[in-house]
A and B are shown apart, each in its own frame.
Chain A
Amino acid sequence: MNAVVLSTDLAYWAQSLLRVLGGLVAVLLPAGTIVYLFLFKMMSFMQSRLGPMEAGPYGSMQLFAEVGKWLQKEDIYPARADKFLFKIAPIIVLSSTFLLVAVVPFGPDAWFTNFEAGVFYMLAVSSISVLGILIAGWSSANKYSLLGGLRAAGQLIAYELPMVLAVVGVVIQAGTMNMQGIVVAQNAGSIFGWDGLGNPYIFTQFVGFVIFMIAVQAELTQAPFDMPIAESELVSGYMTEYSGFRFLIFFISEFATAGVFSMIASVLFLGGWAVPFSWFGWTNLDDIDNWMNVAGPLILFTKMIVLSFIIMWVRFSYPRFREDQLQRFAWKVLIPVSLVNIMLTAIFKVAF
């Protein structure tokens, strides 16, 4: 496998630092900006309005304007808040996003970590944000925030399970938990012998894909699963007391996490950074040309935008569930369906 020059010559700490900076600068910032701008313009058109128009040409600098606005604001915390916990809560939520990005492969060699149990790690790390949200809800010393935090805890735990079960189908089909391996398995694969498109698991694991996207929607606490935030009843729930910089962190992590989950979904179900290998006569990772390290991230970004568009589309057009209806939906519909999906996948895996 071609190794990136930097990673062989530098010390481990320097590599790690570069990867962290790379994660920040190369992935999260553009991802956040593009997702934010694209989606806000898109949603504005859906709602028959123009969206941001003033900041920069056609409103393209809106994100910078908003970051500037939030940074200027005073960092307020309530008098009775647990100050230490109140301050670290948004950072915990954001760190969950950062840790998620670490396992996403962007190209044959463009990855931050090529972790063997990548899927496992991804599922584990994504639940860290629950801690941050619970802490934020509790430490705000606000009844609305407490209600929001508790709702978030119940909801995120309930939707971890369908998410895990939906991914199990993919793992069974790919035969690996490595994210890179899943990409290769999809693009080198074939659907019952036809390999014109490879085998993006959205075709064979469509049920899994739908369940995964629903669970992602719930993990992101976005409508129709936005009871923890619920502006009209809990007045933004666990975020009620946050302002200025700390609110900005929550805000960024909301959009960045939407982007990162879309990337993960495109890796798991849409073939990740690659287009089908058969188009270029490739069969495995070693054959792949270096230019895919440049084209790969762009392909992944395209898929990410499509998926985050779907996430936001649902978000802006559905009303929200009630707490008990949401739990019922998770335990009585999603989990049984995903278990059946796993069973069928296993049977097909053995049969073919």
Chain B
Amino acid sequence: MSLLGDRQQLAYIASQAADARVNVELETEGMTLNIGPQHPATHGTLRIIARLDGEQVIWAEPSAGYMHRGYEKLTEVRTYPQVTSLVNRIDWLGSFANEVPFILAAEKLMGVEAPSRAQHIRTILFELSRIANVSLFLGDLGVQLGAITPVFFAFRDREYVLNLIEGATGGRFHPNFDRIGGLKEDLPAGFIDETRNVMKKLRTFCDQIEDLLFGNEIFQSRTRGIGVIPKDVALQYGMSGANLRASGVDWDLRRDQSLPMAWDKADWKVITHPDGDSFARCWVRLQEVRESTRIVDQLLDTIPAGPVMAKVPKIIKVPEGEAWVSTENPLGEMGYYVVSQGDMGPFRVKIRSASFNNISIVPWLLKGVYVPDIITILASLYFILGDIDR
């Protein structure tokens, strides 16, 4: 309670200071604008308290927690196989990707490794959920900037990917498919051919979006030079994923660490952009969808035969220990710190979700921008509320 009090006190002092700045020249009054908790630009219930001078922001502060669901605590009363159905819902647009690091952490503690076929399928599904996630971002970006059409294309083409995920796992949004030691089932018949077709469609979709949005001069004038994050600031704020790579940091966990996954079996490159502005962040994501389709295509070619499940006991008990595994999720670095005391469920789980760190830069970034730029910056930072509040 005292923490909240301090925080409000600080907010009050900051807003007073902001007022003092507003009043100097024109004797104008500032205005506090609450963006959210219910606002179309916040993808859920994020609240941004902005102190405005006319249309200019002089002070802004994100206030998260309106959708806190307590997943870290809930994992303590679940068994390990049950946890995947919880963590699915953290980043709900790319939910399979949320399961993977937790399962990898549990496998690391148990000393189990999934068979090679399961690793391939995991990677394919991981990349498919990245494509589903980021392709929706590309459409939503248009809506945030006022162009209505791209989002319809995005929903249309994301549907193909969701159908693939549904075909393989049985769940469109919450697959709950990853198991300790492998996967629930093998791929269905026809999955590989169908996936190849869909990847072609997705590449066409990327071209369309590039024509429709990225080549548009209004779009460029709205995003270029807006919300520039220099390299060192991005690193200081602990940003990750495409937001970090757009600031010119060549850092991708898929390449930089060795996990029992199949990314090293494919030939792909890490996309970076030197500018660090909103355009760079959007552009990097667009290119990453293309790279993901390439990864999927190559892995489909090299997928080995064999079982999809290693030998694990029926009742899973994880030996005592602590493990940290993080992966390069659609939104950035997502990691699980799992503490086990030898029970059927984890003793404590710390979830490091990408969006929470990514939006911590918002107060720094929003100083001095105009109200429309708030939307551009929030859209280009690309957070998902479930990923902030957990």
Contacts and interface: CB of A to CB of B under 8 A. Distances in A.
A232 B146 CA distance: 7
A330 interface: no
B40 A232 contact: yes
Given A143-B31, A224-B218, A233-B371, A319 B146 contact: yes
Q: Which of B39, B153, B213 has the most CB of A within 10 A?
A: B39
Nearest to B140: A232
Given A47-B148, A49-B152, A226-B146, A325 B221 contact: yes
B343 interface: no
Given A143-B33, A233-B374, A321-B218, A316 B148 contact: yes
Contacts of B213: 319
B219 interface: yes
Contacts of B370: 322-324
A318 interface: yes
Nearest to A231: B40
A232 B152 contact: no
A318 B216 CA distance: 8
Contacts of B144: 232-233
Contacts of B149: 46-47, 316-317
Given A232-B41, A234-B371, A317-B212, 10 more contacts: A47-B152, A223-B147, A232-B143, A235-B39, A319-B146, A319-B218, A320-B147, A321-B221, A322-B372, A323-B55
B373 interface: yes
B222 A321 contact: yes
B352 to A, nearest CB: 29
Contacts of A141: none
Interface in B345-378: 370-375
Interface of A: 46-49, 143-144, 147, 223-224, 226-227, 230-235, 316-325
Place the interface of chain B in its size category: 20 to 34
A233 B41 contact: yes
B142 interface: yes
Contacts of B222: 319-322, 325
Interface in B211-231: 212-213, 216, 218-219, 221-222
Interface string B151-163: 0110010000000
Interface in B38-53: 39-41
A131 to B, nearest CB: 22
A171 B77 CA distance: 79
Interface string B316-352: 0000000000000000000000000000000000000
